[in-house]
Amino acid sequence: MSTTADDGAPLGLMPGQEVPFDDRGLAYGDGVFETVLVRNGFPVLWDYHLARLARGAEVLGFPAPRQADLERPLAKAPKGLAVLKLMVTRGSGGRGYLAPDPPKPRLRWQLLPFAPTPNRWWEGVRVRHCRLRLGIQPVLAGIKHLNRLENVLARREWQDPDTAEGLLCDSEGRLVEATGMNLFWQRGGRLETPRLDHCGVAGTLREALKGRVALHEVAVGPEVLNDAEALWLGNSVQGLWPVTRLDDPDGRAQHRWSLGPPHRWLQAEAQALLGYPVPEVRDH
């Protein structure tokens, strides 16, 4: 990939995107981010990303950047697929945890060429339950803030490259999400996804799907997956992965699904939202 920014630096290594030591995003994770699929310069599900970023800034209590400023990096987007990562911190200042008043938020961004990896995961993935439980924090639930150590630690629970994702429950045992994706399943013909009022990130693909299909938000433990006809993981960058095998935290198979028409319909909806193809269903 020889695409470069205006100044000749490779995409993703834009000068001027560092932050100073006293940036509160660095010091405390005091900020929010968005990871946006960009196709031929067009940001996919952009309204959903803007809405979540605005809500995150509101929860944290600083003004979100103007839309025009958030869109400026798109002028540098390459042809084809790219991922734009936007980060907005509360900026510098304040005394310790006490936030500066007024805050001067800082916008930083990175644009990287992208290919969904690996594509074969659209045809079915193996996932596992994580041991780590997410802490309950209703104030921060849903927004994509910069305090993501739980996700980092959960992702460290496996190295096997054939395990695509790990499922997370909260400290009271309710299913929440995967380390970087939302969960969806069909049970008794009904499409369900975890409620995200205690913790977790409300993904933009999940939000967009809510507008297209009947998606029931439920507070349930992981045992309901034993009764699921289909289980999927998805986000707005990678698309929707049907799950064919669910392991326990030691990597031992707990449940398997054969791909079939029940898996395909939701994937068709999600992939259409992102402009991705729907793989052929190969009946097993």
Q: Which residue, 152 or 214, is less far from its own copies as judged by CB?
A: 152
Q: Which residue, 78 or 180, is less far from its own copies as judged by CB?
A: 180
Task: Characterize 128-139 residue by residue with b for buried, 16 or more Cβ atoms within 10 angstroms of its Cβ, and e for exposed.
Answer: bbbebbbeeeee
Q: Which residue, 172 or 250, is less far from its own copies as judged by CB?
A: 172
To its own copies, the closest distance from the beta carbon of 281 in angstroms equals 28
To its own copies, the closest distance from the beta carbon of 251 in angstroms equals 17
Q: Which residue, 179 or 186, is less far from its own copies as judged by CB?
A: 179
Question: DSSP letter at 60?
Answer: H
Q: Which residue, 45 or 178, is less far from its own copies as judged by CB?
A: 178
Amino acid in position 201: V
- CB neighbours (10 Å) of residue 215? 17
* 277: preceding bond cis by omega (within 30 degrees): no
To its own copies, the closest distance from the beta carbon of 92 in angstroms equals 10
Please name the residue that has the structure tokens 């991705």: 276
- Pairing relationship of beta strands 239-247 and 125-134 according to DSSP bridges: parallel
- Distance, in Å, from the CA atom of 250 to the CA atom of 265, rounded to the nearest integer, reads 31
Structure tokens at 47: 């309204």
**Positions in the binding site for its own copies (CB under 8 A):** 12, 14, 17-30, 33, 60-61, 87, 96-99, 108-110, 132-137, 139-140, 145-156, 171, 179-180, 199
To its own copies, the closest distance from the beta carbon of 229 in angstroms equals 29
To its own copies, the closest distance from the beta carbon of 12 in angstroms equals 8
- Distance, in Å, from the CA atom of 267 to the CA atom of 276, rounded to the nearest integer, reads 10
